[in-house]
Structure 1
Amino acid sequence: MRIRFGPFTLDFERRQLTNAGEDIHLEPKAFELLSALVLERPKALSKAELQERLWPGTFVAEANLSNLVAEIRAALGDPARAPTFVRTVHGFGYAFCGDAEPVTDPGDAAPVPEPPESGDGSEARAATGSPPPPSSRLPWLVAGALAAALAATAVITLSRDRGLASAADPVQFTIAPPEHASFGGPSRGGTGTATQLAVSPDGRHIVFVAHAGTAFQIWLRPVATLDATPIPGTDGGSFPFWSPDSRAIGFFADGKLKTVQIVGGPPVVVADAPFGSGGSWSRDNVILFAPGPSQTGLLRVSSTGGSPTVATTLDRTAGEDVHRWPHFLPDGRHFFYTAVTGPCCPASTPSAIRIGSLDRPGDDVTFLQAESSMSYASGHAIFAHGESLMARPFDLETRQLHGEAFPLAARVAREPSRYVGASVSENGTLVYGQAVPDAARRLTWFDRTGRILGTLSEAAPYAGLALSPDDRRVAVTLETGSQDNVDIWLIDIARNITSRLTVDPGRDVSPVWSPDSKRIVFQSSRAQQPIAMRQTSSDGAGADELLLEGPRNFTMTPSGWSSDGQFIAYTTRGSNVWILPLLGDKKPFAFAETPFIEASAVFSPDGPWIAYTSNEGGQIDVYVQSFPGPGAKAQVSRNGGTHPVWRADGRELFYLAADGTMMAVPVGAGRSFEAGPPRALFSSNAWRLTANQVYAVTTDGQRFLVTTTPQTSSGAAPLTVVLNWTATIHK
């Protein structure tokens, strides 16, 4: 059965709204609501009656209904103040006010006459063959629609004594990682710890990122089955998101934004995205995405490709660093996103959740401070507070929060990049990854074969490591009492004694030693001061010295100090490599400044070369380039590489492969750079979620001090699935 009104057609068999033959996406509940109003036209239906039809036996806030009406009006282009199709009956409910007529296709069977009924005119209808009034069909159509919805929702239950749960009951179960695989995501600063996942709008499928074998892939798991399979062509993929019709996903891999159909077929490259941090796909086939890595707002592009255009612009006066994690609202024109100020991770300034508009870019509204991404479902804004997943009523018409926030789940996985490992479908399916406490890391000694020689100091959440050139002390980054107070500490290797070096109640991170082991340069973020590079004496004598500071939240992370003591290499907030001279005019200059991500620059011991990482080839690899340049450049790693470190004599260059294996590259002597093939030494189990150094090599190149992680991690924690989560409200 189909009913036409204006240019629109409701197809009840396909459960699809079309406009001049083009499908228009509606949430399942929105389709049911529009169907009820059309079939009962011109009768006004009360809010209470509609709520009971749509959510039978379940308490839901009235905002859920008004949000569905807002979605319908957006799909029909029907303004609330001058409606053509759906009008508000103030103080009562809603009614369909447009002209509508059934559509009869050639070959349709004639209507079956109804049994005669005394006194109501049914005999005349039977004689003429005319169909009954629309209202007489409504109970059957609505019942069928609700039955289909319930069948899709109440699929699985773990309760042995109750059988299949009723529609009003929430159902919860867990999903373990695939066999021989672990949840997670490709490691990079601020990401990789939380499970990256997304549930389809229709609630029938879940996609997640998992590592199996030698690569991360995106896996597909139907909610109603126990099997998950990797989606071909998604190697290295991260941060998946769904198309509105639940038939395809978008994701990031190889420095690109890509899409792929879940039924099969090759992925399609849509746009460049060097450091993709979230995407959202509207029913108008617009993809909104964060290209990264920093100094960028959101971009928009057609899902079929083309030239991206600017969707949001950074607020330079506020020192914003990047916009991430977009999420379209049901109208397909407005969206949530997270505005981040300051370096990752975490930033020194609170992040803000904003609402942007495709139609009026620049008129973005800040309405909540939260170290989180935000999504929308079933009349609520969904976000994280601490490790709790929260929901707060949100009105789509006014685009305002109202009421109080309440918890949906505890211990939800999240990352310093503000990503939250949770997703909610349009029909009430909630999926989230479980947070695992940040386990203390060990400083572990290895020889070149991977044999463990011992450990140094106590286990702690070390976030940076640097070995002094004289092999006597190790500088590490450690929290001192709170997350906002991070300092540089020194470990005396011979005596195994740890002592605090910096004492300011701010964030002092990323230590780098001077070649004579007498000084340490570090990044400093202190109250009421710009982020800066400072240096201090390694014996703790005297006050630290300011070397360089930038405007507001401009960041500079030191990574290398030249053997002659004259230059310091550092990474800027835009993820480029710059050099600070310590003599002469001391004016910084760019060494590697491209549209790509460059970081982790270290000087060769003999001076004429710098090793650094870049994703210019689509993945992060190690490169060596002449200094001061411009000059020759060579790729050193193969199939990915991070965290380069030179041997003290310059005859060997080490790095970590994509799977954490310690690699060694022989380097020839002479004025030109000549490198041999990379050779695997041992599996390091290194903690790599930072661009700072996480291992060090002794002067003779025979021992490695590595920041190692325990074997247990969030990758082993199962996903939690909650069907019909809205039934938990006020219960």
Structure 2
Amino acid sequence: RGPLTWTDARPIARQIAEALDAAHERGIIHRDLKPANVRITPDETVKILDFGLAKAVAGDTPAQDPALSPTITSPATRAGTILGTAAYMAPEQAKGKPVDRRADIWAFGVLLFEILTGRSPFGADSAVESLGLVVMKEPDWSALPPSVPSHIVDLMKRCLVKDPKGRLRDIGDAIPILMQPDVSTPDPRIGKPARTGRAVLVGSAIGLALAVAAAAIAWSLKPAATMPLRRVDLPDGVAMSRSFAISPDGTRYAYVHDGRLYVRELAQTEPREVATAHPTNNYLFWSPDSQSLGFYAEATIRTVPAAGGPVLTVCQVPASGQLISVLWHPDGRIVFAVWRDSLYAVPSSGGTPEVLLAINVQTEIDFHETALLPDGRLVASVHLRDDDLARVELIDLRAGKRTVLTDDALVRDFRYAPPGHLLFRRVGTNLGLWALPFSENTLDLSRAVLLSPGATAYSVANDGTAIVQAEVLPSFTLEWVSRDGKSSAAAGPPIEELFPWIAVSPDGSRVAYVAGTARPSILVRDLATGADTRLTSEGVRGLNAALGGASMMMHPAWFPSGDRVLYARGQIEAAQLTSWRADGSGEPSTLTKGSLGRISADGKWLLWLEDVRGLGLLRYSAFNGSATVGEPRTPPGMEKVNVRSFDLSSDGSLLAYAASEESTQANVHVTAFPAGTPRRQVTNSGGTFPQFSADGRELFFLSGGRSQSGAPEGHLMVVPLTPGPSLTLGVPRALLTGSATPSGYDVVRDGRLLVARRPVRAGERPRALLVENWPLLLKAKSK
């Protein structure tokens, strides 16, 4: 529609400026001011919408997280691609720099120009072109009608100074200028004939509908059916979080980040801290009324009010103590699945868990990813013992009936969302979040619609809103690290999808590693040339496909001779220790059932882990150096110790291991081998991946954890040892810390370390998107 005259535009511009001034006075900047976010009510009151995407400021130049930018992206674009709002962004915002209230002042100048001319000063055919105009080009001031007073032209020019330092500093200063009496003499710099016509709404090409909007600086709750499909990038804290959940009513979300549990109202600009998060904190879930949060930590289920308050321990997780799925039932019970065990229920007020659905120990391992349907039935992924397969079942507990929905191992994590949809993630080929209509007892995957490509995790509300997390394929570099912490690159290109187990050959010339998820492979790299030799690769099948392939091929180690590689291959609870020549020749040979095998330096002992219903039991036996394995034994006192990883000293006298005995947190211990005494505990607050130095007088280990993206959050530690009958430990110290902490490492005979690191590169950060009104995608396909 046509431009407005200055007489008609003045009250609109004044009200926009007053609303922005009120927001800025409260320490809030909008950062997405544009015609689509301006509404005029029937009584001609101007409302500014979507302050829920705003950002609080502290003074004029706050340090900001660029991920809080109200950038709207398409599902196929990377973070930071602007669609629709590029023409209204300040130059510093378009460059990805921190912004303050002056970004709103710029947008006000653009909006006022558009009101008066009927077109944006930086409009173009694409967002990229618009951004280029914003940064490089001045507005065409001759496009302004000559009737626009010169002091208003000057005001717009002050608003549209590209350098924020020279821009109008306070939108409040614009209000008296807007109210000045008009000067009858036209601005001599404007010579273009005036345009005519009055528009009922702001902007010419926008075509905004009249609506009564919410008050300024408030979240406008609109039914999903009336909202457009929109995707908004969320902060890095959410993108990097290992656990997040949106509330059922879609008004807030919770996430764990940097040791804290946060809740952010979509109507607010900042999250609030609700509770301290233990390192094991995971599996966030909401109460049906969206007023409370549940989570898992230290082998317990806990709840806390979403507004903050005391944390209630609901129960201890039985059996293995490891939670793998949980939901809050409308009847007040918390339903949860336990790793290598059954499905349980417990009152949310606290109590003793009761078995809701027991596994068939002959045919089933456990239940994964349980979801609740409106009629009380459950959808769950059932992990089958036979050939390690997984299938999705519809479970009717009242009728005692179980119906197989699909046995496609590449689809997982089903959840119900009104009205009548099932959402799920597909792994491997066509990775992403999908949705399809759900009928009584059938699942037609051919009707599924892709909602968000590349999704690796998600949470869905009842109002058509979801949060989707996506990661890029991780890439790792190998580096040599000296004892003073200095590093240098090892030969060879970066390795995509490297698992955190690397093993340097006895002579230090090669490294064996596992990489790849769809087809995990054992490779050997020449550390002098960087050339790789692929020993074997296998397509992932069964539940391994859904779990990323980590248990199909893992834990490489070397024979003392350096001519063969030992590794584990196979399914959960059925892995086989296998050896293969390091040059790739010949055929593999199976030694015994188990994983994480290690051969003593003298070749006399073979040590490994045996999976017994989720417990990693350490076994050892005599070994003749080729294929004969003796009778398995267990070191004294370790018959029920759940070992995660271990190492044997070069002289075979000491065993270091990481084990979780009374909680899910592993700690490092060292003991005499094979006697089992004396025994010393090295860590109390977590540790894993112990490795001896070549002389056995130092022990390295990793402490802390990793973020969702795989970025290290802990330390590579080293502690001196004094072997002997007393077995004394020195004081541990950090060798590498923070971002320098490796994802995997091995200790070389000359004292150096070979480490695998995941460098953070531009464009490789994980993303978290708020997706509004995703059901529109299903409606579009059905038309």
Residues 112-150 of structure 1: CA distance to partner in whole angstroms, max 9, x if unpaired?
A: xxxxxxxxxxxxxxxxxxxxxxxxxxxxxxxxxxxxxx9
1:5-16 equivalences in 2 (<5 Å): none
Asked if 1 retains the 8 angstrom alpha-carbon contact of 2:433 and 2:455, the reply is no
SS of the aligned residue for 1:729 comes to helix
Distance of 2:354 and 2:366 partners within structure 1: 16
Asked if 2 retains the 8 angstrom alpha-carbon contact of 1:643 and 1:655, the reply is yes
**CA 1:311/1:714 → structure 2, altered by over 3 Å: closer, same or farther?**
farther
Structure 1 position 403, deviation (Å): 8.4
**Structure 2 counterpart of 1:537, which letter?**
R
Structure 1 position 595, deviation (Å): 7.3
2:520 aligned residue: 486
Residues 320-340 of structure 1: CA distance to partner in whole angstroms, max 9, x if unpaired?
A: 443222222234x42222223
1:381 and 2:430 matched: no
Structure 1 position 376, deviation (Å): 0.4
Structure 1 position 713, deviation (Å): 8.8
Distance of 2:634 and 2:473 partners within structure 1: 36
Asked if 1 retains the 8 angstrom alpha-carbon contact of 2:553 and 2:567, the reply is yes
**CA 1:505/1:423 → structure 2, altered by over 3 Å: closer, same or farther?**
closer
Asked if 2 retains the 8 angstrom alpha-carbon contact of 1:608 and 1:626, the reply is yes
1:699 aligned residue: 749
Structure 1 position 438, deviation (Å): 0.8
Asked if 2 retains the 8 angstrom alpha-carbon contact of 1:328 and 1:336, the reply is yes
1:667 and 2:718 matched: no
Residues 233-272 of structure 1: CA distance to partner in whole angstroms, max 9, x if unpaired?
A: 3333212011112111111112222111112223222233
Distance of 1:504 and 1:200 partners within structure 2: 40
1:436 aligned residue: 471
SS of the aligned residue for 1:410 comes to strand
SS of the aligned residue for 1:372 comes to strand
1:99 aligned residue: none
1:562-573 equivalences in 2 (<5 Å): 562-573=600-611
SS of the aligned residue for 1:699 comes to coil
2:266 aligned residue: 223
1:1-400 equivalences in 2 (<5 Å): 167-177=225-235, 181=237, 183-185=239-241, 195-210=242-257, 212=258, 215=259, 217-236=260-279, 237-273=281-317, 274-292=321-339, 295-318=340-363, 320-331=364-375, 333-341=376-384, 350-359=389-398, 363-368=401-406, 369=408, 370-378=410-418, 379-386=420-427, 387-395=431-439, 398-400=440-442
Equivalent residue in structure 1 for 2:680, among 622, 634, 648: 634
**Structure 1 counterpart of 2:494, which letter?**
A
**CA 1:585/1:445 → structure 2, altered by over 3 Å: closer, same or farther?**
closer
Asked if 2 retains the 8 angstrom alpha-carbon contact of 1:199 and 1:425, the reply is yes
Structure with bigger RCO (C-alpha 8 Å, 6+ apart): 1
SS of the aligned residue for 1:364 comes to strand
Asked if 2 retains the 8 angstrom alpha-carbon contact of 1:353 and 1:373, the reply is no
**CA 1:456/1:495 → structure 2, altered by over 3 Å: closer, same or farther?**
closer
**CA 1:600/1:227 → structure 2, altered by over 3 Å: closer, same or farther?**
same
2:459 aligned residue: 423
Residues 399-447 of structure 1: CA distance to partner in whole angstroms, max 9, x if unpaired?
A: 4446853325223432xxxxxx2122123222211x2221321111122
1:578 and 2:618 matched: yes
1:422-501 equivalences in 2 (<5 Å): 422-433=458-469, 435-461=470-496, 462-463=498-499, 464-479=501-516, 483-501=517-535
**CA 1:724/1:454 → structure 2, altered by over 3 Å: closer, same or farther?**
closer
1:683 and 2:730 matched: no
Identity %: 27
Distance of 2:446 and 2:720 partners within structure 1: 61
**Structure 2 counterpart of 1:445, which letter?**
W
Distance of 2:762 and 2:559 partners within structure 1: 35
Structure 1 position 666, deviation (Å): 0.9
1:598 and 2:643 matched: yes
Asked if 1 retains the 8 angstrom alpha-carbon contact of 2:395 and 2:402, the reply is yes
Equivalent residue in structure 2 for 1:623, among 661, 669, 694: 669
1:720 and 2:720 matched: no
1:561 and 2:599 matched: yes
Structure 1 position 712, deviation (Å): 4.1
Distance of 2:218 and 2:442 partners within structure 1: 34
Equivalent residue in structure 2 for 1:411, among 442, 453, 456: 453
SS of the aligned residue for 1:666 comes to strand
Distance of 1:432 and 1:608 partners within structure 2: 50
SS of the aligned residue for 1:477 comes to strand
**CA 1:406/1:503 → structure 2, altered by over 3 Å: closer, same or farther?**
closer
Asked if 2 retains the 8 angstrom alpha-carbon contact of 1:605 and 1:648, the reply is yes
Distance of 2:463 and 2:483 partners within structure 1: 54
Gaps of 5+ in 2: 1-212, 541-551, 705-712
**CA 1:390/1:524 → structure 2, altered by over 3 Å: closer, same or farther?**
same
**Structure 1 counterpart of 2:465, which letter?**
T
**Structure 2 counterpart of 1:493, which letter?**
L
**Structure 1 counterpart of 2:472, which letter?**
P
Equivalent residue in structure 2 for 1:525, among 570, 578, 583: 570
SS of the aligned residue for 1:224 comes to coil
Structure 1 position 677, deviation (Å): 2.4
Structure 1 position 227, deviation (Å): 1.2
Distance of 1:586 and 1:314 partners within structure 2: 34
Structure 1 position 290, deviation (Å): 2.6
State the superposition RMSD in angstroms.
3.4
**CA 1:285/1:649 → structure 2, altered by over 3 Å: closer, same or farther?**
same
**Structure 2 counterpart of 1:312, which letter?**
L
SS of the aligned residue for 2:722 comes to coil
Distance of 2:753 and 2:434 partners within structure 1: 44
**CA 1:412/1:493 → structure 2, altered by over 3 Å: closer, same or farther?**
closer
The runs of at least 4 consecutive aligned structure 1 residues that moved more than 6 Å come to: 163-166, 503-506, 592-596, 686-689
**Structure 2 counterpart of 1:290, which letter?**
A
Structure 1 position 597, deviation (Å): 4.5
Structure 1 position 375, deviation (Å): 0.6
Asked if 2 retains the 8 angstrom alpha-carbon contact of 1:221 and 1:228, the reply is yes
Structure 1 position 394, deviation (Å): 1.8
Asked if 2 retains the 8 angstrom alpha-carbon contact of 1:558 and 1:571, the reply is yes
**CA 1:262/1:654 → structure 2, altered by over 3 Å: closer, same or farther?**
same
Distance of 1:449 and 1:426 partners within structure 2: 54
Distance of 2:684 and 2:287 partners within structure 1: 34
Distance of 1:501 and 1:166 partners within structure 2: 53
